[in-house]
Structure 1
Amino acid sequence: MIVKPHRYFSVFVSFLWITLCIGQKGNIKKNIPLDSIRLSDPYILTDIKTQMYYMTGTGGKLWKSKDLKFWEGPYVVAKTNPKSWMGENPMIWAAELHQYKNKYYYFATFTNKNIKIDTVSDNIIDRRASHILVSNTPDGSYIPMKDEIYLPADKPTLDGTFWIDTNNKPYMVYCYEWLQNGNGTIEKIELKPDLSGSVGEGKLLFKASDSPWSKDKNENGNIVAHKVTDGPFLFRTGTNRLGMIWTSWQFDIYVQGVAYSESGTLDGPWIHEKELITPANFGHGMLFKTFEGKTLMAIHSHKKVAERNIRIPHIFEVDLSGDKLVVGKIHKP
């Protein structure tokens, strides 16, 4: 039986707070340069109240910095319910931090490898979904809210991000994974006003195959569209144009492109730029502003070294003043 999170909070949070305090002693590092951190899918929150930058990503742990140059961490901040569908020790991918209506929200992908939801071809698909936790402070702890499920239990979803559309309603924008549907999609679902659950069903925004730059080879060696959608992030340009960066592959190279909505809303239609927006082997980016008001992009590099996949967070300078996002050089704090 799944325990309702709101009935479980008092005992659950007290226990995990004690565990958190014990588990972090002696494990926190200080004055760590950004390029010395190993982290996929970096996401940086600029918090005016604490005058601190908070960074998270895959693995779900938290780093903090005053200057973007040196970082302290990693802190454990996500507190899931072990009796929920996530299980006792879920994998956490692509965590994000969002401030909204005086609270802080933790969007992340949780995977329970003990539950299998489907088998497609040779792919056994684990129970995986985008979900949202909440906290009163940016450094957590982040705990479950009312709804135990935001997205269908029989579909693998990932990389949920946050957007307020022109109708002033909150949405989660997420990927429906190619492992099951054969052609990864990016979709939206409306959220409750306090983000404690979802409303209605997801709606398709576009497919991986809609992009002119995501490419692969089929079993016959012919060039076809790639199947993967990964890491959506929404923004507006200086001319109020709605854009979305997202990541896929060009054969075996990790790449990121951009699409723009012709309607200026999530409903699109979404028109994909022909050229990549960032250098090859960089992907899963997001945009944030510094305390000085400068817009930057957090992103990770993706490469293999001695048969190991190495993923390192970086920060790029960007220009949003015109009609399009222009990515510049790597930022040096």
Structure 2
Amino acid sequence: MAASALGDIQIRDPFLLVVPDGEGYVLFGSTDPDVWSGPGRGFDCWTSADLVEWHGPIAAFRPPADFWSSGQFWAPEVYAYAGRWHMFATFGGPGVVRGTAVLVADAPTGPYTPWSTGAVTPDGWECLDGTLHIDAEGAPWMVFCHEWLQVGDGEVHAQRLTEDLRSAAGPPSLLFRASQAAWARALNAPQAADDSDGREHDGEDGQAAYVTDGPFLHRTGDGTLLMLWSSWGDAGYAMGVARSESGHVLGPWVQQGTPLWSSDGGHGMVARLPGGGLVLALHQPNETPRERAVILPLREVSGGIELARPHRAGGPGDGPGCGA
């Protein structure tokens, strides 16, 4: 299998899985050449022993002939749970109400097969980017976005799941709306309208629309529960951080005043390396087909997180570099 650097791999919404027992890393993400118009081919992944040299692509998921979605295969996240590997991923396409479904496999690289019956997000809701969170009592939750396409001001919700992760175990709870973050900007602002990501940028009836993308929860060593999520900022696609005042997924959530990543990149997640260090994985730039995964050192500070090195605008090769 050929070896590649991160700069050689077209990928959006990267998710870095740290395989237990020192067995390396697996990189997942939205990997179809055209994730917006399709058709949906599936998800590929790459493996690495050092976060620098990557081997793949490996076909992690290919839809069966009777699969309920034909395209817009987005943002796979993989978790070890109940002795198997569970993938949370978003599916949509023409005539399909977009939502997050759960797939399952016996190995981290797959092959993954459908586990839930269709989406586990609410019926009739346009949703995306479901992420798994296990609370202090061991109960599984899914945090997901209710899309601005349907609600205008994009929302982030939490929803209890059944113990087998196959369906919802209760109604969704609204955590916050995108406009509550001081750094978030409306899609019809000039800086958002000029940022090409292949998606429509007008709110209904010309009203301001705000994006919520890519929630991911991280609990710090001092017990603080944080959520990374993405929207548009002053310099295009960006990623901010919210903090749960209660330490529970239901919050209330308080938004950090400035974004963690401010320009032309986002949809990030935090991974803890075998030695205990943290890295942030995100994609940059936000333009198809130029998007690439960037992996950067991260550190915890009192009640939060910050990049271990500052970043500046530009492509992956112009920033702090890939790898930890």
TM-score, normalised with respect to structure 1 = 0.80
> Would the aligned equivalents of 2:235 and 2:264 in 1 still touch at CA under 8 Å?
no
Could you tell me which residue of structure 2 aligns to residue 275 of structure 1? 258
What residue ranges of structure 2 are gaps of 5+ in the alignment? 32-42, 192-206, 310-319
Could you tell me which residue of structure 2 aligns to residue 320 of structure 1? 300
Shift of 1:226: 5.2
Q: How has the CA–CA distance of structure 1 residues 225 and 261 changed in structure 2, closer, same or farther, with 3 Å as cutoff?
A: farther
Q: Aligned-pair RMSD on alpha carbons?
A: 2.3
Shift of 1:128: 1.0
Shift of 1:148: 3.3
Picking from 97, 117, 120, the partner of 2:78 is 97
Could you tell me which residue of structure 1 aligns to residue 126 of structure 2? 156
Could you tell me which residue of structure 1 aligns to residue 102 of structure 2? 132
Distance in structure 2 (CA, Å) of the matches to 1:66 and 1:220: 42
Q: Partner letter of residue 109 of structure 2? A: D
Choose 159-168 or 38-47, whichever is displaced more.
159-168
Shift of 1:50: 6.6
> Would the aligned equivalents of 1:156 and 1:180 in 2 still touch at CA under 8 Å?
yes
Q: Alignment partner of 2:171: what SS? A: strand
Shift of 1:309: 5.0
Choose 146-155 or 252-261, whichever is displaced more.
146-155
Picking from 272, 289, 297, the partner of 2:272 is 289
Q: How has the CA–CA distance of structure 1 residues 220 and 263 changed in structure 2, closer, same or farther, with 3 Å as cutoff?
A: same
Aligned pair count reads 287
> Would the aligned equivalents of 1:85 and 1:112 in 2 still touch at CA under 8 Å?
no
Distance in structure 1 (CA, Å) of the matches to 2:63 and 2:234: 36
Could you tell me which residue of structure 1 aligns to residue 5 of structure 2? 33
Could you tell me which residue of structure 2 aligns to residue 73 of structure 1? 56
Shift of 1:188: 1.1
Runs of 4+ that moved beyond 3 A? 79-82, 146-149, 217-221, 330-333
Q: Alignment partner of 1:180: what SS? A: helix
Q: Partner letter of residue 77 of structure 2? A: E
Could you tell me which residue of structure 2 aligns to residue 214 of structure 1? 184
Distance in structure 1 (CA, Å) of the matches to 2:9 and 2:165: 31
Q: Partner letter of residue 184 of structure 2? A: S
Is residue 2:57 matched to residue 1:85?
Answer: no
Is residue 2:231 matched to residue 1:263?
Answer: no
The one-character-per-residue Cα deviations of 1:159-218 (angstroms, maximum 9, x if unpaired) are: 111101133210111101100111110111111112122212211111111111101375
Picking from 140, 149, 154, the partner of 1:184 is 154
The one-character-per-residue Cα deviations of 1:239-279 (angstroms, maximum 9, x if unpaired) are: 11110010000256011110101111111111001111124
Shift of 1:310: 1.8
TM-score, normalised with respect to structure 2 = 0.82
Could you tell me which residue of structure 2 aligns to residue 237 of structure 1? 220
> Would the aligned equivalents of 1:238 and 1:323 in 2 still touch at CA under 8 Å?
no
What residue ranges of structure 1 are gaps of 5+ in the alignment? 1-28, 116-125
Could you tell me which residue of structure 1 aligns to residue 112 of structure 2? 142
> Would the aligned equivalents of 1:175 and 1:187 in 2 still touch at CA under 8 Å?
yes
Q: Partner letter of residue 3 of structure 2? A: N
> Would the aligned equivalents of 1:162 and 1:170 in 2 still touch at CA under 8 Å?
yes
Q: Alignment partner of 1:110: what SS? A: strand
> Would the aligned equivalents of 2:101 and 2:119 in 1 still touch at CA under 8 Å?
yes
> Would the aligned equivalents of 1:211 and 1:225 in 2 still touch at CA under 8 Å?
no
Identical amino acids, percent of aligned pairs = 32
Distance in structure 2 (CA, Å) of the matches to 1:175 and 1:260: 17
Q: Trace 1:7-18 onto structure 2 (pairs within 5 A).
A: none
> Would the aligned equivalents of 2:19 and 2:25 in 1 still touch at CA under 8 Å?
yes
Q: Partner letter of residue 91 of structure 1? A: Q
